[in-house]
Chain A
Amino acid sequence: MRGRRRTLHRPSRARAGAAAVALLLGAAGCGGGAGSTGAGVVRASWGDPQNPLEPANTNEVQGGKVLAMIFRGLKQYDPGTGEAKNMLAEKIESKDQQHFTVTVKDGWTFSNGEKVTAASFVDAWNYAAHVDNKQKNAPFFQEIEGYDKVHPRSGTPTARTLSGLVLKDEHTFTVALRTKFSTWPDTLGYAAYVPLPRAFFDHHAAWLKKPVGNGPYRIDAYTRGSVMKLSRWDGYPGEDKARNSGVELRVYTDNNTAYTDLQAGNLDLVDDIPSTQLKNVRADLGDRYINQPAGIVQTLAFPLYDPAWSRPGADKVRRGISMAIDRDRITRTIYRKTRTPATDWTSPVLGEKGGYKAGLCGEACTYDPEKAKRLIQDGGGLPGGRITLTSNVDTGSHRLWMDAVCNSINNALGNDRACTVNPVGTFADFRNQMTEQRLTGPFRSGWQMDYPLAQNFLQPLYYTDASSNYGKFSDAEFDGLVDEANAESDTARAVGKFQDAERILARQMPAIPLWYQNGSAGYSENVADVHLNPFSVPVYERITVKP
């Protein structure tokens, strides 16, 4: 009986449930769609910044985009040429390439009304350098006198401020460096060196929720993980005022979706065309597609800490592997010319004057399968008869080029097992394997420049015990040439020394230059005057919106 009674109620309950679901779905159908965007606003793709948006804590391009819009520093890199030009700096002078006097222009304010003074810089730099603030870009300040006191390698700091930074008056401060560094002023366009308002220090949590700076834009609203709305700051004193009324940065977790939204007219600017769409991008966008060099170079570094790779003759093997890679075909078929075969260790965005020299690597970076095979044989063959190529594969579709490079090497050597790929699941794991020297074959080493100087492409990567010298390359002659170049006050002579140092790399081949990476972007018919700067970041303030 009990069972029967239950049966009577059952269907009605089920029906009620179904009706509730239907109601829910129907009611939701009336809900609003995407938020409306005001007139003259550029809708642009964005990625979630990986760190809190503090200038000295932002070391990737997504956070960098915002900083580039809301901050201006002492120097600004020309969006076209990459040349460092004075922005807030009236002048930066030095007699000995080691002690600098910085004069800050009058009349600049932050968008909250605070004045930008010399103290805005000194306070910001002291904050960035101090170890307690855990700023990831702190090492940018290591050239300044007193860094080891505020940021000791271990233990507690013994000073609050950098002794090398001295405030002279409202508009002047002096900087003392540890060593001679002639191009130091040119590094000051990097985001870590921007001034900070008192609001940053006094109301830190509130500032992080809605950062305030001194750039052409200010932040109206920031919903973390989904959207940031910026509007033109009309009180901006600089020359490079925004030509649109604002920018809406929308977070996309997949650049393919951003590209589809661009095609559907829901987005105005995608600054990273997915590699799988490169084949169609001309047909889809016509001349609204930008593909231009950026300051990024991809190399394959060798684990020179491993005796198998540093024994006499191994340099021949390393050069041979380099010559077995058909860079030209890989960049054409896999990357559709959004990469350019690399022939030196810097980047074309530096320009001839800045230290880039096409073909410096010579025949060691030219595809020649016969000679590659011979060189490798002369050098004693591949260590253990085979090599594995390692990279993380969680970002950047690295697997594609890894397979292509291995196939190229295998075809050159006529052995389909000579090179195999070793994909690593996470970047952290890959980075730990690198720092702990667990890799026994060549591994990916990408470098995105911090500032457009040849020094930035060479010293951190190949100087003995330099911070990002994962392969542990060490060559006294190379180190000497870099030191000389840094002390040189004449740019042309400094560039010459850097190129001499690069020629050592061509002989030793501690890392194989693969290709220079381009910035690629596409935009809608609503906007015009879209450019990418040498860091492959769109120059937002120059974009105009069609009425």
Chain B
Amino acid sequence: MGRYVVRRLLQMIPVFVGSTFLIFFMVYALGDPVAALFGDKAPDPATAARIRSELYLDAPLWKQYLHYMGQILTGDFGTAFTGQPVLELMADAFPVTLRLTIVAVCFEILFGITLGLLGGLRRGRGTDTTVLLLTLVVVSVPTFVSGYVLQYLFGVKWGLVSPSVSPYATFDELMLPGLVLALTSLAYVTRLTRTSVAENSRADYLRTAVAKGLPRHRVVTRHLLRNSLIPVVTFIGTDIGALMGGAIVTERIFNIHGVGYQLYQGILRQNSPTVVGFVTVLVLVFLLANLLVDLLYAVLDPRIRHA
């Protein structure tokens, strides 16, 4: 087990190198960012050349990459075009987005698994159909619309919450945005739970458990649910990374200055230090989340063991 974790952690090194290079290359492929810094006006050639050489943009790709990696190893993640160090941007953005992700994942776990369980236990009946219809609404209505409508209703019409999130982005302010962010994933978690539960509810061990007179809630939580959670846990594991990096729309609607926003700005302005820095941290988050999921497999099913 310990050796397994160490090996997985060591695998991060090639992934780190691979993904930084890939992202670095992709931003490079977008083209020269300097021309866009001058607004409506044509860039002044001499100034543009100075900026390019300062940013190492006039060097060949491999040199740029080596220079960047050298910087990173000394703890310098470069600066955004606003002159702000990327490290500072990350220190501001990641805690906010982490809180948002925690809220969203809590919603997924609470509502997704509960609704899925209800649907799976009452297959084909009213509850199941209602949950299915809710799933459909969530899948076909864009986040922009659900976010905007909920923001308008809660923030303006009923005045229950502030429509935008303050720079402090506390957990209570992030409830509504977290819900909006969780919506699409809720559909997946609900359907996955429902299907697994429906499948497992016919398994023999469950009949045995019921037959020997265990209380219903014990059968459901200890036997049925735990055996149904592997796909759900896998999904939530993959979703953590997606939620952290892909909350662009939600962050925009609620004015959250998080990872999605910084990443989006970095991409549009083609600032490689910002993009590579943020994505690198995100990839590390994926790796850790996946490791956690793999360790959870062994918890959910003791027969799965990690050498």
Residues of A within 8 A of B (CB): 2-3, 6-7, 10-11, 21, 24-25, 27-29, 31-35, 48-52, 59-60, 131-132, 134-136, 138-139, 151-154, 208, 223-227, 251-254, 256-258, 260-261, 263-264, 266, 394, 426-429, 431-432, 435, 446-448, 460, 467-468, 470
Contact = CB atoms under 8 A, between A and B. Distances in A.
A20 to B, nearest CB: 11
Interface stretch (B129-137, B158-166, B196-204): B158-166
Given A254-B252, A394-B268, A10 B299 contact: yes
B236 to A, nearest CB: 13
Of the candidates B30, B51, B83, B253, the one having the most CB atoms from chain A within 10 angstroms of its own CB is: B83
30 contacts: A21-B106, A25-B106, A34-B166, A35-B167, A50-B81, A51-B82, A51-B83, A134-B47, A138-B47, A139-B41, A153-B45, A226-B167, A257-B163, A257-B254, A257-B255, A260-B151, A260-B156, A260-B164, A263-B156, A264-B163, A426-B269, A427-B36, A428-B30, A428-B35, A431-B43, A448-B40, A467-B44, A468-B40, A468-B41, A468-B42
B172 A447 contact: no
Contact of B171 (A3, A25, A227): A25
A225 B21 CA distance: 28
Contacts of B54: 134
A16 to B, nearest CB: 13
Contact of A223 (B103, B167, B303): B167
Contacts of B166: 33-35
A523 B81 CA distance: 32
Nearest to B302: A3
Contacts of A32: 168, 170
A394 B269 CA distance: 10
Interface of B: 30-33, 35-47, 49-51, 54, 81-84, 88-89, 92, 99, 102-103, 106, 148, 151-152, 155-156, 159, 162-164, 166-168, 170-173, 222, 251-255, 257, 261, 265, 267-270, 299, 302-303
Nearest to A431: B35
Given A138-B46, A153-B46, A428-B36, 6 more contacts: A25-B106, A426-B36, A428-B33, A431-B35, A431-B36, A448-B40
A52 B82 contact: yes
A27 B102 CA distance: 14
Contacts of A27: 171
Nearest to A134: B50
A48 B82 contact: yes
Contact of B257 (A24, A139, A251, A394): A251
Nearest to A257: B255
A34 B32 CA distance: 39
Given A29-B171, A31-B170, A253-B257, A428 B162 contact: no
Contacts of B106: 21, 25
Contacts of B269: 50, 426, 428
A460 B88 CA distance: 38
B224 to A, nearest CB: 14
A21 B253 CA distance: 26
A257 B253 contact: yes
Contacts of A7: 302
Contacts of B170: 28, 31-33
Given A25-B106, A29-B172, A31-B168, A135 B47 contact: yes
Contact of A252 (B40, B156, B164): B164
A464 to B, nearest CB: 14
Contacts of A136: 37-39, 44, 47
A507 B240 CA distance: 60
Contact of B39 (A33, A59, A139, A223): A59
Contacts of A152: 46
B46 A28 contact: no
A154 B49 contact: yes
A227 B43 CA distance: 29
B27 to A, nearest CB: 11
B196 to A, nearest CB: 17
Contacts of B155: 260, 264
Contact of B41 (A6, A52, A59): A59
A432 B251 CA distance: 30
